Structure formats: structure tokens, C-alpha cells
Amino acid sequence: MVVSVSSSADLSMTELLAGYSSGELSPVQATQEALDRAERLNPQVNAYCLLDPAGALAAARDSEQRWRRGEPIGALDGVPLSIKDLLYTTGWPTLRGSYTIDEAGPWSQDAPSVARVREQGAVLLGKTTTPELGWKGVTDSPRTGVTGNAWQPELTSGGSSGGSATAVALGMGAGSLGTDGGGSVRIPAAFSGIVAIKPTYARVPLYPASPFGTLSHVGPMTRTAADAALLLDVISAPDNRDPWALAPATRSCVAALSDGVAGLRIAVSPTLGYVSVHPEVAAAFEAAVAVFGELGASLETVDPGFADPVQEFHTLWFAGAAKSVEQVDAAGRARLDPGLAEVVEAGAGISAAEYLGAMALRNELGIRMGAFHERFPLLLTPTLPIPAFPGGVEVPPGWDGRRWTSWTPFTYPFNMTQQPAASVPCGFTADGLPIGLQIVGPRHADAAVLAAAHAFQQATTWHHRRPPLLAE
């Protein structure tokens, strides 16, 4: 459904900033209306595990004064954002959905991405929910419970950045910082009808280092590709706490938004050669691909040519899960999410040779995709093969597979290859559930991926739809 804009909570980041600049909007108004949304809707969806109205409004008042003086301190001054509860945030506990973490802290530092948005004047509203330690593609945890889908709260939001996706979709903040180790910004973006990008690995500095190693990325979650570009430019600034961080990009993502896709040779892979796709997802994907043709791209249906790397991904992911709880005592382990406990046990039995074998396969995938992108600057796939399913379970009822990776085959391969990959809304099922399109580029082509997403959004209206909860 299309909901008319009656609140600044429905505006994009760029629209808010334009309103602040003209004096038609104030950061206090925008922050209060985002908090009002959260007060009304969070009890139904459980997207926030921490809200700080007093702190947010104090920051918004400071921003308002800066705008009145014509002296905004940065690119995000006054924009209300949320932070996934895996990222350190000064003064707020980072509990990661787990009883294994002591709420007492100390909580005395920001993660690099949080520090960058704070420096640029963003108003931080609170922390969003995650599965325990971010281990799976849905969002429920022993500590914070189940997070619901913005469109149908009884369904899953996806994960692991599910709280962020639901918050953004419902206007409980104009954007959010999420993390992605196997699809964790793209999965919930697809289920929630928003935009998210997993950047090139190390484009956004990360601290502390993830126990899941170089699979893990920090990425923006917004309602538009233009907002994602703005947020990615901000959080890509250097931070010496990440020794692997890349040098700043030579061109900003915002500057590249107008590049479009005309003349680009784009690969189209409806199944990656091995995925079974729900008919409504397949139809929406086919229609989305046609839009790129109308925008002047040259399209070719072709698979990248690799087999499903799920076993090697499991080796890397399960080993990371075991690493994440290595300091947890027996009493703490007894309180883990049962599914996490299973993969921790599996990960503890992985040998160094097995791990290195998975890394070798990962290297081969990266080389293959590097060669593939010499022919095709971009690749289009569905983000997910299925629509959202009931919340509180790892896989759909009756599904042929026990782990979340069994229904996310389009996302985790590109964590292994470290490529940028974005999800953008491209349609809805007959039941009103969002469908996502994935746009993948070669390493370092983050700007090109977002330019393609922006071109698609300029030609479509899927991102203008709002969840039914907003009309109630």
C-alpha cells in the first residue's frame, strides 16, 4: 500500500537535510516524530532493544541551533539514526542479544562507523535487535526475543540486522548501521522493502574485529539508494583501529549516483545456476531486469559458473561462532540460543586444514568473480529466493534444510568474495510482502552498485510503499 507522507518520519535522509537547510524542518521535530513512531510501533515489532529519547532530543536541540546559525557540523547533522546492537556505542550497552555479556560494561567507546556518524552530527536514537552474537539470518535471541516484520509483524524481519530493517521500514529513524557476514543487511532489507549495501570488505573500518573474520562487513540500511550512498561515504572514513581498512575511495558514492547504467553490460542470473526460486520472486525479478534494459543497459542471462559454496561457508562461519564464545563458561553456554550452541559445537571440531581448505575455495571464487566482472561490470540476482516466513524460527516450516543458509544462497557467496552487493526493493507478493533485487559489483565498485540501485529506484516506485502498520 502507499501511505501519504504526514510526518517527517516518512522522509528520507536527503529530504530531511534539505528541510533543515531551508528552515522548513527542524532536527528536533524529526527526532521527536521518529521517537513517536518507535513508541507507537516498537511494542508490535520489537525492533529496538534500547531507546534513548532524552539523549536523542538533547543532540537534536544542539543540531537545531547549529542549523539556525547556518553552521551544520557535517553531512548528517540532525538525521535520526539507529545502531545495530553489535556495534559499540559510547554510553550504551552492546549486549548482542546474549546473556553471556555483562551489561555493566564499561561502554566507553564507539565503533568506527558509529564514531563517524556521530562526528557528522547524526542523532542516535538507540540500539536495534540482533540474533545472539549475530549468528543467523533471522532476528530472535534469548535476551531480546523475536523481532517482527514491518509489513506483517507475525513474520520474520530476516537478520541478522533485522531490528535495523524493521526500524527503517517503519520510519523509526531515517537510517541504521547494520552488519553483514552472510547477508545480514541484505536479507532483512529484502524482507522489509528497504535498501542496504554490504560494501567491499574493509571499505568501512571495523573495531573490534569480528570473530567471524573477513566475512563481516558494516553497511548502511536506508529507504533509498541515495541515502545509502550518503551514509556509506560517511562511514568509510579511515580509522586506525582497523589494520585492514582500505584507503579512502577516489570518488564518493554520492558523486557517482547520476552515472546510471546506460551502456553497461550487465549479467542476469535468476538462480546462480543452482537455486530454486519462489514463482512470485522470479516474476518480480524478471520485471526488475526489464527496467535495466529500459534504462539502456545491455543484458545477458549468464551464471557466474560456481557451485554452491555452502559447506565452505559453514566451515568459516561455524569456526567463527566457536571463536565468539571461547571465553564463555559452562553456565553461560547453557543459556545460548540452542541453534548457536549447535554451530559452536560443530565449529569447535573444525581443523586448521579444513579451515584453510575453505579459504582456498574462497580464493578461487574471488578469482572467478574477478574474471567474470571483466566481462560484466554488474550482476543481478534475486536477493532471496523466498518471501518472509513466520518469526521465531530459523527456517520456514516444512523447509528442507536446518540452517538459515539453506534459504539465503544468493547472499553468502559474496561475503566470501568480499564484493559489494546491495538489495533494493523490486516488488511485492500477492500477500503484500516485499521482494528484493540484488546488485553485485566487483571489489571496490561500491559506487557503481549504488548508482545502479539509484537508477532503478528513479525508474520505479516500490520504495514509496509503506507498511500497513503506518495506516493504523
184 is catalytic: yes
pLDDT of residue 438: 99
CATH number for the region 8-471 comes to 3.90.1300.10
DSSP symbol at 149: P
Q: In which order are the strands placed within the sheet that holds 421-428?
A: 48-51, 123-128, 80-84, 175-180, 217-222, 195-198, 421-428, 434-440, 378-382, 265-268, 298-301
Q: What span, in angstroms and rounded, lies between the C-alpha atoms of 393 and 395?
A: 6
Residue 472 pLDDT level (bands cut at 50, 70, 90): confident
Q: Are 405 and 136 in contact (CB under 8 A)?
A: no
Residue 2 predicted with pLDDT over 70: no
DSSP 3-state of 268:
strand
Catalytic pick among 84, 127, 136, 198: 84
Q: Are 90 and 108 in contact (CB under 8 A)?
A: yes
DSSP symbol at 234: H
Catalytic pick among 141, 184, 210, 324: 184
148-158 pLDDT per residue, tens? 999 999 999 99
Q: Which residues, 6+ apart, have CB-to-CB distance to 284 below 8 Å?
A: 382, 426, 427, 428, 435, 437
Q: Cα(first)–Cα(last) distance of the chain, in Å?
A: 12
47-81 pLDDT per residue, tens? 999 999 999 999 999 999 999 999 999 999 999 99
Of 267, 299, 269, nearest to 410 by C-alpha is 269
Q: Are 131 and 138 in contact (CB under 8 A)?
A: yes
Q: What span, in angstroms and rounded, lies between the C-alpha atoms of 45 and 435?
A: 19
Mean pLDDT of the chain, nearest integer: 97
Q: Which three cell numbers stand for residue 320?
A: 567463527
Catalytic pick among 160, 164, 216, 269: 160
381-424 pLDDT per residue, tens? 999 999 999 999 999 999 999 999 999 999 999 999 999 999 99
Residue 322 predicted with pLDDT over 80: yes
115-128 pLDDT per residue, tens? 999 999 999 999 99
Residue 94 predicted with pLDDT over 80: yes
Q: Report yes or no on whether pTM surpasses 0.85.
A: yes
160 is catalytic: yes
268-281 pLDDT per residue, tens? 999 999 999 999 99
Distances in Å between the Cα of 167 and the Cα atoms of 140, 197, 221, 329 are 15, 16, 10, 34
Residue 1 predicted with pLDDT over 90: no
DSSP symbol at 209: P
Residue 252 predicted with pLDDT over 90: yes
5-44 pLDDT per residue, tens? 479 999 999 999 999 999 999 999 999 999 999 999 999 9
Q: Are 310 and 409 in contact (CB under 8 A)?
A: yes
Residue 392 burial (10 A CB sphere; 0-12, 13-18, 19+) = middle
Pairing of strands 80-84, 175-180: parallel
Residue 76 burial (10 A CB sphere; 0-12, 13-18, 19+) = buried
8 is catalytic: no
Position 62, amino acid: D
159-205 pLDDT per residue, tens? 999 999 999 999 999 999 999 999 999 999 999 999 999 999 999 99
The structural domains of the chain, with segments of one domain joined by +, span 8-471
Q: What span, in angstroms and rounded, lies between the C-alpha atoms of 255 and 421?
A: 19
415-457 pLDDT per residue, tens? 999 999 999 999 999 999 999 999 999 999 999 999 999 999 9
Q: At which residue does the C-alpha cell 506483517 appear?
A: 152
